[in-house]
Structure 1
Amino acid sequence: MTTAARAARADYPALRVAPPASSVDLIAAEQAAADFLRALGIPTDTESVRGTPGRMARAYAELFSTPEFDLTTFPNDEGYDELVLARSIPLRSVCEHHLLPFVGVAHVGYLPRERILGLSKLARVVGHFAARPQVQERLTKQVAGWLSDNLEPAGVGVVIEAEHTCMTVRGVRASGSTTVTSALLGALRDDPRSRQEFFALTRLGG
């Protein structure tokens, strides 16, 4: 059923969004973390490090978890058709190549049609896709594509700015560098004025 068809119903349902199905074995993860540290020559029998494998396991389990939420939408009774933008949504994820964190902000906007979205849900969607090993390019496209598929707006735009610790604290050690990715769909991609407005409001319009 399309969004337009569902919008005509009084009992328009909220979409329940659940994290990817997975099982977490904290005992096995703690043992693996202890083996990992010992393999790197780091003793785990001192008082300050003895609990580190468990803390590592719990930390990564937290990074890879996200709560379920309802994608709450409302009728666009006023026929609002201008850009809705949530700017500087805090973001944290983990690079799938090195399992090191990357942190930054996401700017997420859309051009409404029949339905408008509860604003907090834009942040929820970002957190939903960030809570797993990721690459920034895929994360950007996943957020944009998911909103386009489930909200069916006239257009969607997503910009992510993040610092990758796999780049800033190791390897090239380019401290202070950030990576910017964008994904534009619908009118925000095809209409130059809408695209310019979106980038200007995200302060990337130059």
Structure 2
Amino acid sequence: MVSKLNKDNKGFTIIEVLIVLAIAGLIMLIVFLAIPALQRSQRNTQRKSDASAIVTAINNASTNANGAKITQINSGDGTTASDTSVSFRPNASVTNVETARLGIYRSSSSAITWSSTNVGSIFITDLTSSGTYTPTVVGGSTTATVSHVNINSITIVLGFGCNESGTGINSTNRNPRAVSVIYVAENATDRGNLQCIN
């Protein structure tokens, strides 16, 4: 009887404990690998939402101006990192037709500013890049290019639409009434890839 009780009160074997620890470790590894991907996905969703907000604001501004081409886009309060609004104007005589509260994504260490370039084209650029890249939009001709963009940039191109794949602008067909909003979606392995919304 005593020997039977001793046999029934045996604890876990070392092998059983090691198996449980291995399973727990595997679950933790899967969770830690999944978290960065989920965070990337969330940031990409925010970027797409911000780009869509810009498109909606531009369309509203154009509609309110009886279809006039948008010729000016200004930051809400200059060129500070705290900008939360952008004003869209179809011409010099109509101001603040539509203001989009964008909440544009930026990393905790970066600042952004709206900057004018060629003939009605503007871009947002990361001020903390210390000159390592220069987003460039060339407008007013038959071509338009965007170079050296990174995951913190949103580019608005006036006069060109998106290409068929939605990964950039259609640089061969100039359309005075087209507007492209370009942002960069993050990848796990590199700086990301261009996405375009008309």
After TM superposition, is the score higher than 0.5? no
> Which TM-score band applies after superposition, normalised by the shorter structure?
under 0.3
| More helix per residue | 1
Per the normalisation by structure 1, the TM-score is 0.26
Per the normalisation by structure 2, the TM-score is 0.26
